[in-house]
Amino acid sequence: MKRRQFLQLTGAALAGGVAGVCMARTDIVRRATAVAMPPTDASAFGKARRFAELPCGRIAYVERGAGEAALFLHGAPLNGFQWRGALDRLSAHRRCIAPDFMGLGYSQVPAGQSLAADAQAGMLAALLDALAVGKVDIVASDSGGAVAQLFLVRHPERVRSLLLTNCDVEPDSPPAGVMPAIGMARAGTLAEATARWLTDKALARSTFGAAVYRDPARLADETIEYYVTPLVSSPLRRAQYEAFHIALAPNPLAGIEAALRRSAVPVRIVWGAADQVFALADAEYLDHTFPQSRGVRRVPDAKLFFPEELPDLVAEEARRLWGIG
């Protein structure tokens, strides 16, 4: 090899090495910055809220990060704020999108719009189209898990991976623990009962909080207000909040198992072992149904909405599923 060629190749290698080191350091700094940032509170999350104008209405969502997209699907009666801790930890790795379902949160849809799980799946497809997103990693909880399964069946080419926490499954949807809320919705009393949480935060913690959180004392006043305020903000929103629950029955997942058994998408199941709504048997069902299941992680003492309390655990499982160190 001639000396000039050697020097050129050596210089290129050094330049590439320096660039690689710089990129690595930049990535380390980016990750460290993300970890060092203070937790996102309700005020900051609300300021980050955007709206997508879709045929079904104005869909609220919060977006953070860049690159390949991850879609975070919340439970009821929550909204995208449920995933704030996960977004804090994962926005360094993904373009994180946390929408509010129709009938919950800050999304605004007209009277008569279907709020059933299949309509929610259609809304998500339209939202991703509006945001120019092709494929997503989905992270889902509770009724959001039912929508995630329907979305996967309808749009398998758009799902890169699926991380499910305690949620509906075909043999257990809606679960017995949700039937009282559905009954109240049918009777027209659910919205008023929920509205009382705004004036009696202790009641919210001792009833709803105790049922779905390991430590209901950590359910802050601002969190209760961020979840409940939009649900009861008008007669229309109260009616839609109840209609959302009424639409949980009959079973929105009926007949879905055969399609799930054909799925080639990698799935990880992370389950709160102390949940009184979704049994551990539901996690085992998902594990046995999905051909590419990566197994079940049982979280001791954790209840339905543990992802809100344990965002580090959610981020750890997501990174592992996504192949990120």
Q: Is 51 helix (H, G, I), strand (E, B) or coil?
A: strand
Counting Cβ atoms within 10 Å, is residue 253 exposed (0-12), middle (13-18) or buried (19+)? buried
Spatial CA neighbour of 241 closest among 201, 182, 166: 182
State the pLDDT at residue 32: 39
What is the structure's pLDDT at 38?
Answer: 73
Q: What is the predicted pLDDT for the residue at 37?
A: 59
Residues 78 and 86: their CA atoms lie apart, in Å, by: 15
pTM, entire model: 0.89
Cα separations (Å) of 112 from 61, 79, 232, 276?
22, 21, 17, 33
Instruction: List the strands of the sheet with 159-167, edge to edge.
Output: 50-54, 57-64, 95-99, 69-73, 136-142, 159-167, 267-272, 293-299
Cα–Cα distance for residue pair 219/78, rounded to 1 Å? 12
Q: What is the pLDDT of residue 25?
A: 37
**Helices 190-199 and 235-246, interaxial angle, to 10°?**
120
Strands 57-64 and 50-54: antiparallel
What CA–CA distance (Å, rounded) separates 103 from 241?
5
Contact 195, 227 (CB under 8 A): no
Residue given tokens 């954790």 in the structure block: 302
Query: Please, are residues 119 and 92 in contact by the beta-carbon 8 Å criterion?
Result: no
- pLDDT, position 3: 38
d(CA 222, CA 241): 20
pLDDT along the chain (325 residues), means of 10: 38 38 38 56 97 98 98 98 98 98 98 98 98 98 98 98 98 97 98 98 98 96 98 98 98 98 98 97 98 98 98 98 91
For the chain, where are the E strands, in sequence order?
A: 50-54, 57-64, 69-73, 95-99, 136-142, 159-167, 267-272, 293-299
Tokens of 26: 């930049």
Residue 279 pLDDT: 97
Q: How many CB atoms lie within 10 A of CB 144?
A: 31
Instruction: Write down the pLDDT at residue 315.
Output: 98
